[in-house]
A and B are shown apart, each in its own frame.
Chain A
Amino acid sequence: MLEVFRQFALDLKASGINLTILYDAFDFERFVSGLMTTCALIVICTLFSILIGGAGAAVLALSRGPAAMLVRAYVALIRNTPLLVQMYFFYFAVGSLMPVGQNAIGLPVPMIGNFTWAVIALSLYAGAFNIETFRSGLGAVHNSYEEAALALGYSRFKAFRYVVVPLGLRFSFASLANNLVDLTKSTTVAYAIGVAELLYVSNQIWSDSLNTFEMMNVMLAIYLLLTGIVVWIIGRVQAAMSLPGFGAN
């Protein structure tokens, strides 16, 4: 089977389309490792950004004090500055303040690697947008539901937990899908701090094989596929949580 692919790729090459990743083992491995790194960034940052979004929106919904002000300041800062600048800020500015370890032969090794910084920057970035998404989803829940819960003896927190959150979540999916598609595409910014994700390894490949045109097309196709998967998954979750007669769908 693989041999068939390889032969097909070689035939393509003969006709002028040079997809080294399909017939050259070294390029194939680089490419797969880049793809895996990109997928890892997407999955890990999606989870953290949803946690941040949920926690931030809960703080905004339940508190009026300094905690809410802090969340609002964080959201404003992240949403109004470029992701690339944030990424550099974490890697170069904050990273330079972090303790540095040593490896076996005495060379300095940072305690927090570039992959971790990328995760931090991307999670905080998408998390800020998710806070806004969940906040507006919660805001879309008519307060008559909370009132009904209060009239049944629920505390404000319990009403939030058992009634407002489950309903607000259902108002959040469309906007959440938007944010996570954006996050998926934004993982390419990790290239800037040397994370060997898909764009990074593809650049290596086209630099070596001078097949820029082919690799650019591969990039577009792969990211289209990845965002498609993200949207499909959220669509499945949304469908599974849809409610008869409830207007959020």
Chain B
Amino acid sequence: MRSATQDGALVSLRGVRKAFGSIEVLRGVDLNVAKGQVVAIIGPSGSGKSTILRTINGLTPVDHGVITVGDITVTDPRVDKVALRHRVGMVFQQYNLFPHKTVLENVAMAPIQVLGEPRRQVEERAKDLLAGMRLPEKALSYPGELSGGQQQRVAIARALCMQPEVILFDEVTAALDPEMVKEVLSAVRKVAEDGMTCILVTHEMRFAREAANRIYFTDKGVIVEQGEPKAFFENPRDPRTIEFLDKVL
């Protein structure tokens, strides 16, 4: 139904550059994600990982380069933002649930208010998603009444309820207590195993290795190395990758 780009990628970044003031955060990033692929982006703090994610759904405009998602050119100034964000979901480090809405409203409001889908149908879907996240009894609670791990699972359900083709996970476990990391990671994993295309920025190396089928390593605004998880973690080639993996593993 939707035409992919010539090389078969659902998400594609070509020579993406971005500077905040005089600081160059992205210095020519190329990245391809095929449909159904799970990609993990790892690297030191400040290497531009989160910025890469934010350029893909247009939250951060780029200075140079071309980004496409399916047949949408994100970097086109006249891009249809609703269509883009319908197709690309995002889950944030701090969950960013709306505190004045119940869990069910959080999950269902965007498809109703943005896409104009019928309320009843969306709420059915939202309830199913909450059940899938093992939170069916929390539908009428407010986010402030939930633990961090529960909030993050609601945020994943909220992203899924837009029925996107790809979801961006931006360090989704970084704000969580250790015992909650696991429940969120298994929720992310479930999303990935259900066939959703996922791009993850993460510091959880073990998770990246187990859940992703491609690893990108970024440093100082460029992608230094990429590969299959096994090869990447067992035989890193670039000295910067080796140094980083030495520190974190």
Contact = CB atoms under 8 A, between A and B. Distances in A.
A244 B138 CA distance: 14
A26 interface: no
A79 interface: no
21 contacts: A147-B59, A148-B90, A148-B92, A148-B97, A150-B59, A152-B114, A152-B158, A153-B82, A153-B85, A153-B86, A153-B162, A154-B110, A163-B98, A166-B100, A243-B142, A244-B142, A245-B99, A245-B143, A246-B99, A246-B100, A246-B144
Interface residues on B, range: 20 to 34
B99 A154 contact: no
A150 B115 CA distance: 13
Interface string B101-116: 0000000011001110
Contacts, number: 67
Interface of B: 57, 59, 81-82, 85-86, 89-90, 92, 94, 96-100, 109-110, 113-115, 142-145, 158, 162
Interface residues of A, number: 21
Nearest to A156: B81
B109 A155 contact: no
Contact of B100 (A144, A147, A154, A243): A243
Given A144-B96, A151-B59, A244 B85 contact: no
Contact of B85 (A145, A150, A246): A150
Contacts of A147: 59, 92, 96
Contacts of A246: 99-100, 144
B114 A154 contact: yes
Contacts of A145: 96, 98
A220 to B, nearest CB: 40
B157 to A, nearest CB: 12
Interface of A: 144-145, 147-155, 158, 162-163, 166-167, 170, 243-246
Contacts of A153: 81-82, 85-86, 110, 114-115, 162
A155 B92 contact: no
The 9 nearest A-B residue pairs measured at CB: A245-B144, A148-B96, A244-B144, A152-B110, A153-B85, A153-B114, A246-B99, A151-B90, A153-B82
A244 B145 CA distance: 6
B138 to A, nearest CB: 12
Contacts of A243: 99-100, 142, 144
A242 to B, nearest CB: 10
A152 B90 CA distance: 8
Given A154-B114, A244-B142, A148 B98 contact: yes
Given A149-B110, A244-B142, A246-B100, 8 more contacts: A145-B96, A152-B162, A153-B85, A153-B115, A162-B109, A163-B98, A243-B142, A244-B144
A170 B90 CA distance: 27
A69 B89 CA distance: 37
A249 to B, nearest CB: 10
A80 to B, nearest CB: 35
A245 B142 CA distance: 8
Contacts of B114: 152-154, 158
A95 B94 CA distance: 55
Given A150-B59, A154-B110, A144 B94 contact: yes
A163 to B, nearest CB: 6
A151 B85 contact: yes
Contacts of B85: 150-153
Nearest to B80: A153
A153 B83 CA distance: 8
A245 B69 CA distance: 37
Given A147-B59, A243-B144, A244-B142, A154 B113 contact: yes
A124 B158 CA distance: 42
Given A144-B92, A158-B114, A151 B57 contact: yes
Contacts of B97: 148
Given A150-B85, A152-B162, A153-B110, A245 B145 contact: yes
B94 A167 contact: no
